[in-house]
Amino acid sequence: MNILLIGSGAREHAIAWKLEQSPRVNKIFVAPGNAGTALAATNVDLPFPVSGLYSLVNTLQVSLVIIGPEAPLAEGMADALRAANIPVFGPNKNAAEIESSKAFAKAFMARHNIPTARYASFTDFDAAMRHLESVEYEIVLKASGLAGGKGVILPNSFEEACDALYQIMVAREFGAAGDEVVIEERLRGEEVSVLAFSDGTHVRVMPPAQDHKRLLDGDLGPNTGGMGAYAPVNLPGGLMDKITHSIVQPAIDGLRAEGRPFVGVLYPGLMLTDDGPRVLEFNCRFGDPETEVVLSLLETDLLDVVEACLDGTLDRIEVKWKRGAAACVVLASGGYPGKYATQLPIDGLDCAPGPNATIFHAGTTLKDQRVVTNGGRVLAVTGWGETLGDALDAAYDALRPIRFEGMQFRRDIAQKGLTTP
Ligand code: AMP
Ligand code: GLY
């Protein structure tokens, strides 16, 4: 089988790497891909407009398309492919709205009794200001639309909140994504990412993972797309069942009941509060960097799981996970998440990463046959092992030879996982 994968991050490199292990996979094409997928698979240009995908799928004799990022899902790429009878893994536009509209997601959770923070949503600046003045709890401001992970603001004072609201709604810092704003209660606790496969009816949850959103060690510095991850997170007994039955399954059932069947990966970002797990957001896709660690632990052929999702038979297959743990350390450009240089040569990629590690590429490209930087997050070095400590050793050993000008990474990935019993 030939497969076309849409995207260009370490998530897509990890999906390609996992699919490559399937005896049933012939060729993997990645559009547009990065230097890592150019070496591991075949990169092709992403056609625009989306109708160009039909001829690409024909020419490449592709019989399955997997869509990685949220933007093409929110724009209806899956709908367009389904309309042309091309098998696609990823939700239609109306199901992807669970990520692309936070206002929709909050109202949806309220309708289906899915635990989340108290909130109100606004399209009118003055009404939002009045709400800010009257709420009695600490708040978080969210641009409702897709803002590339930057649309959530955690203000430290009333003044900061007013300023951020003005920036989003009036100065339109995030463009149309800020036409509607969600103001919600600020929750406290540990965060965990639970990714789940779904065929629209059934779910299979993956091992819980933790992202590291802040740039610097000790969870300091600005928010980023994610500086590292590990899995599984050691949760109290029964908590994964509770998350599955009070959050993941009700969301899939609710979407189906509302005429928005969800086929793909549904990924709630959760806060584990003293009152139980609460949804911070829903994502309609694999997480990045969670995918790098979770797929390293998947034992079952990923193609079998994806096909069961497309066939509506996810309940009939067993999805097996390896024992042990995986950890991923992201190597980022100097200056990220602010301005950074690109096209910088990367050294050390020719050193073998060891048997229990792999180097997924994110923002990289090939220039004169050399791998150079091409984005904020550059590489996602991933290790696994019997224990989380082994996985971390494998990842940090594998990144040691790698160098590029300005390279930065966190040295404390998964430390919380090592210290919690
Ligand atoms: P989101 O894009 O909605 O996941 O938000 C990005 C990050 O903002 C989350 O990973 C949390 O760290 C933080 N966040 C979002 N909502 C809340 C909340 N209600 N309380 C506390 N932190 C939050
Ligand atoms: N790990 C954060 C995200 O994928 O949105």
Which has the closest alpha carbon to 56: 79, 81, 74, 78? 81
Please tell me the predicted confidence (pLDDT) of residue 85: 96
82 in the same domain as 122: no
Q: How many distinct structural domains can be found in the chain?
A: 3
- Domain end, chosen from 43, 75, 92, is at 92
Q: pLDDT per residue over 88-118, tens digit each?
A: 999 999 999 999 999 999 999 999 999 999 9
Q: Pick the residue whose CA is nearest to atom 11 on ligand 1.
A: 280
In a domain, 290, yes or no: no
| 227 inside domain | no
Distances (CA, A) of 14 to 83, 104, 173, 328: 28, 30, 32, 11
Give 92 Cα–ligand 1 centroid separation in angstroms.
25
Binning pLDDT at 50, 70 and 90, where does residue 168 land? very high
At 272-286, the pLDDT tens digits run 999 999 999 999 999
CA–CA distance, 92 with 80 (Å, rounded to integer): 9
The pLDDT value recorded for residue 229 is: 98
Same domain, 72 and 147: no
For residue 363, give the CATH number of its domain: 3.90.600.10
411 CA to centre of own chain: 22
Q: How far does residue 183's CA lie from ligand 1's centre (Å)?
A: 11
The pLDDT assigned to 48 comes to 84
126 CA to centre of ligand 2 in angstroms: 32
Nearest CA to ligand 2 atom 4: 287
CA–CA distance, 8 with 244 (Å, rounded to integer): 30
CATH number of the structural domain spanning residue 58:
3.40.50.20
Looking at residue 46, what DSSP letter applies?
P
Q: β-strand 2-7 against 62-67: which pairing, if any?
A: parallel
Amino acid identity of residue 348, one-letter, is: G
Task: Tell me, yes or no, whether 156 and 63 share the same domain.
Answer: no
Q: Does residue 347 contact residue 407 with C-beta atoms inside 8 Å?
A: no
Ligand 1 close to Cβ of residue 186 (< 6 A): yes
The residue-averaged pLDDT of 358-373 equals 97
Q: CA nearest 309: which of 196, 158, 197, 387?
A: 197
Please tell me whether residue 264 adopts helix, strand or coil conformation: strand
Three-class DSSP labels, 251-307: HHHHHHHCCCCCEEEEEEEEEEECCEEEEEEEECCCCCCHHHHHHHCECCCHHHHHH
Dihedral (C-alpha) 232, 235, 237, 242: value to the nearest 10 degrees?
A: -100
Asked if the model's pLDDT at residue 58 lies above 70, the reply is yes
> Of the candidates 164, 185, 206, which is a domain's last residue?
185
Is the per-residue pLDDT at 29 higher than 70? Answer: yes
Q: What is the pTM of this model?
A: 0.96
What is the CA(211)–ligand 2 centre distance, in A? Answer: 8
Q: Which two tokens stand for residue 250?
A: 């009700």
Q: Ligand 1 centroid vs 55 CA: distance in angstroms?
A: 40
For residue 303, being part of any structural domain is answered with: no
Interval 205-228 mean pLDDT: 96
Question: Is the CB of residue 187 below 6 angstroms from any atom belonging to ligand 1?
Answer: yes
pLDDT tens digit sequence for 37-50? 999 999 999 998 88
Going by alpha carbons, the residue nearest to atom 3 of ligand 2 is 287
Average pLDDT, rounded, for the chain: 96
Give the mean pLDDT of 296-308.
98
Answer yes or no: do 82 and 126 share one domain.
no
Is residue 378 a part of any domain in this protein?
yes
Give strand pairing partners of 199: 263
Cis peptide before 277 (omega within 30 of 0): no
Residue 362 has pLDDT above 60, yes or no: yes
Give the ligand whose atoms come closest to the C-alpha of residue 267: 2
Weakest-pLDDT range from 44-58, 63-77, 176-190: 44-58
Given a cut of 70, whether residue 355 has pLDDT beyond it is yes
Residue pointed to by tokens 């406290």: 188
Pocket perturbation via mutation, ligand 2, pick of 99, 193, 233, 279 by most ligand atoms within 8 A of CB: 193
Same domain, 332 and 413: yes
User: According to the model, what pLDDT value does residue 50 have?
Assistant: 84
Which ligand number lies closest to the CA of residue 98?
1
d(CA 413, CA 238): 26
Which amino acid is residue 158, in one-letter code? F
Residues 86 and 150 in one domain: no
Kindly state the helix (H) or strand (E) to which residue 67 belongs, with its residue range: strand 62-67
Distance between Cα 364 and ligand 2 center (Å) = 19
Atom of ligand 2 lying closest to residue 288 CA: 4
51 falls in which pLDDT band (50, 70, 90)? confident
Q: What is the reported pLDDT for 49?
A: 85
Which ligand is nearest to the Cα of residue 106, counting in written order?
Answer: 1
Please indicate, yes or no, whether residues 339 and 421 belong to a single structural domain of this protein.
Answer: yes
- Please list, in sequence order, all residues whose beta carbon lies within 8 angstroms of the beta carbon of residue 231, skipping any fewer than 6 positions away: 206, 207, 208, 209, 210, 290, 293, 294, 297, 325, 326
What's the average model confidence in pLDDT over 127-149? 94
Residue 359 contacts residue 36 (beta carbons within 8 Å)? yes
Residue 420 pLDDT exceeds 80: no
Residue with tokens 């069961």: 308
Q: Are residues 330 and 420 in the same domain?
A: yes
- Over residues 59-71, the mean pLDDT reads 97
Reported as a single tens digit per residue, the pLDDT across 247-266 is 999 999 999 999 999 999 99
Host domain of residue 39: 2-92
Q: Determine whether the shortest distance from the Cβ of 184 to ligand 1 is under 6 A.
A: yes
Clarify whether residues 18 and 73 are in a common domain: yes
Nearest CA to ligand 2 atom 5: 287
Q: What is the longest distance spanned by two Cα atoms in the chain?
A: 60
Q: Is 55 exposed, middle or buried (0-12, 13-18, 19+ CB in 10 A)?
A: exposed
Work out the average pLDDT over 324-334: 98
Is 203 domain-assigned? no
